[in-house]
Amino acid sequence: MNRRIGLIAGAALAVMAAPAQAQEPLFDGCPSDQIRARFAEFGETGRMPADLGAWLNDPEAQQVTPWAAFDNVDYVGVCWVSAWLVHTDEGSVLIDTLYGPFTDTLIDNVAQTGTDLADIRYVLMTHGHFDHVGGAAALKPLLPNAIFVMTQEGWAEAAEDAAASVGGPREWAMIAPELQATDGQRIELGGNTFTVLETPGHTWGTASYLFDVTDGEDAHRAITIGGLGLNAIEGPEQVQTYLDSVDRLRAMITDPQHSVEVHLPGHGFSANLPEDRERLKAREPGEPHVLVNQDGLVSQIDFLRDRAAARLAVEQGQ
């Protein structure tokens, strides 16, 4: 097994091998700060805490009722990992697939939004880690009109990750590659444009996606950044690539000609999404939309850059 496979598979299997049920709730609800703290512990030690692993695989603890983030976007994921459903006049686009026990949850959540599975036209996948693409094999026969999309390297990573799981406690399979997206590729559907950005760093095949979201008469440019963590790093070259991607994203987000105001993250706890959801529920008419927050997105990007710069120094032995 090469080092990339080992690093990707190790992080995945640490979660997948954990007990399926927690004996008692680890968290009260889905508190972002507490979840981040426990993942930081995992990142520092490289060992999945037993109670965190159990919580990650506990369907009851992970259940999140689908909710409308914007007029044309529903959240259909679970507590620890996101899935987004973007609606257009010609069908819907699903971003990421969840995995394992939560594929059925995803299907139920999509149904709760009133969306027919046959109306999903594209599945945009951010990268090859199991928590984002592990549900693709189960979803494929249920989405007769959908094209599955990922970068060429992302498809390769997913295949390697799935192969590495064979014979393990919770092996999974990946579908054959379909649309192999490239940087700058535009996918047009129903008046919306989904632009592919190759943003390697979290993994070599990570992609981010730009698209429009609507709030009444207002439209905003949104992004789902494909990966934020440094948990599958091979060495200094990859960290430098991560930094390059972060710098590119920051310049794009703050470009006055094409500014990005909304981040719909792959892991909600990374951006306080559960708390913002509660604030959105309490929104009064005429108040700003809590998820339209370019300053918050830029702050997150800057934090990620500082963290990656520190990691680069470690990788270079400084």
pLDDT value at position 16? 52
**Which residue type does 43 have?**
G
Distances (CA, A) of 89 to 59, 75, 109, 144, 145: 33, 18, 20, 18, 15
Cβ atoms of 298 and 253 within 8 Å: the answer is yes
Secondary structure (3-state) at 55: helix
Does the structure show a pLDDT above 80 at 230?
yes
H or E stretch at 44: helix 32-45
pLDDT value at position 163? 97
**Which residue type does 99 have?**
Y
Does the structure show a pLDDT above 90 at 47?
no
> Fold for domain 3-22+31-54+67-315?
Metallo-beta-lactamase; Chain A (3.60.15)
% residues pLDDT > 70 (the chain): 92
pLDDT value at position 40? 84
pLDDT mean over 258-285: 96
Mean pLDDT for all residues in the chain? 91
Antiparallel, parallel or unpaired: β 84-88 and 73-75: antiparallel
pLDDT value at position 274? 97
65-109 pLDDT tens trace: 999 999 999 999 999 999 999 999 999 999 999 999 899 999 999
Q: Is the dihedral of CA 183, 133, 15, 55 positive or negative?
A: positive
> Highest mean pLDDT range out of 2-6, 80-84, 313-317?
80-84
Where does the pLDDT of residue 23 fall: very low under 50, low under 70, confident under 90, or very high at 90 and above?
low
**Which residue type does 315 have?**
E
* DSSP codes, 157-180: HHHHHHHHHTTSTT----PPP-EE
**Prediction pTM value:** 0.93
Where does the pLDDT of residue 2 fall: very low under 50, low under 70, confident under 90, or very high at 90 and above?
very low
pLDDT value at position 122? 98
- Out of 49-53, 97-101, 132-136, 200-204, least confident range: 49-53
Domain limits, the chain: 3-22+31-54+67-315
Does the structure show a pLDDT above 80 at 45?
no
- Out of 12-26, 52-66, 70-84, 285-299, least confident range: 12-26
% residues pLDDT > 90 (the chain): 83
Does the structure show a pLDDT above 60 at 13?
no
Does the structure show a pLDDT above 90 at 48?
no
Where does the pLDDT of residue 7 fall: very low under 50, low under 70, confident under 90, or very high at 90 and above?
very low
Does the structure show a pLDDT above 90 at 287?
yes
**Which residue type does 115 have?**
T
Where does the pLDDT of residue 169 fall: very low under 50, low under 70, confident under 90, or very high at 90 and above?
confident
176-189 pLDDT tens trace: 999 999 999 999 99
